[in-house]
Amino acid sequence: MAEELKVIVFTLANEEYGIEVDKVRYIERMLPITRVPKTPSFVKGVINLRGVVVPVIDLRGRFGLAETEPTESSRIIIVAANDMEIGFIVDSANDVSDVMSDSIEVPPEVVGGVKAKYLSGVAKLDENRLLILLNLTEVLNRSEIIQLEQFGSES
């Protein structure tokens, strides 16, 4: 029996991506971001969210896509990964979709310019619509998480 998976759908460079709803804490409009020295270029800095310092990364930069200036529809999706909260800058966050587990396939080597290691699968939503599901553990690889955790504990 196929399970139903609820995912938050967001866009990056005109491709649709999904993150499981239970991993998402908040979806925020763009907030002032404080730059942090000596971090990879896709780490944009930190935000103060309800009194908590949250590191923010630009998913376009993380995936090697062309980075763009935030727009009115840009959002920061705050996810919980490995006992910490991290913000992802995305082009827009659209809606919540139900994905049947049997519609998810192993991702090809590269989808929309993004390497397969960052993806947990590709779901067929209908005839013309694919949803790329993120693998959060790879998007934030262990050494980067340690770097971000050290930053978070210094503040």
Is the pLDDT at 27 greater than 90? The verdict is: yes
Quick one: pLDDT band at residue 2, thresholds 50, 70, 90?
Answer: confident
Per residue in 46-98, pLDDT (tens digit) is: 999 999 999 999 999 888 888 899 999 999 999 987 778 899 999 999 889 99
**Residue numbers of the domain that contains 28:** 4-154
Better-predicted residue by pLDDT, 13 or 137: 13
- Domains in the chain: how many in total? 1
Which element (helix H / strand E) includes 5?
strand 4-12
CATH at 144: 2.40.50.180
Q: What are phi and psi of 151, to 5 degrees?
A: -60, -45
Dihedral (CA of 83, 27, 71, 50) sign: negative
Q: Are 89 and 59 in contact (CB under 8 A)?
A: yes
Better-predicted residue by pLDDT, 24 or 154: 24
Nearest Cα to Cα of residue 100 among 133, 138, 139: 133
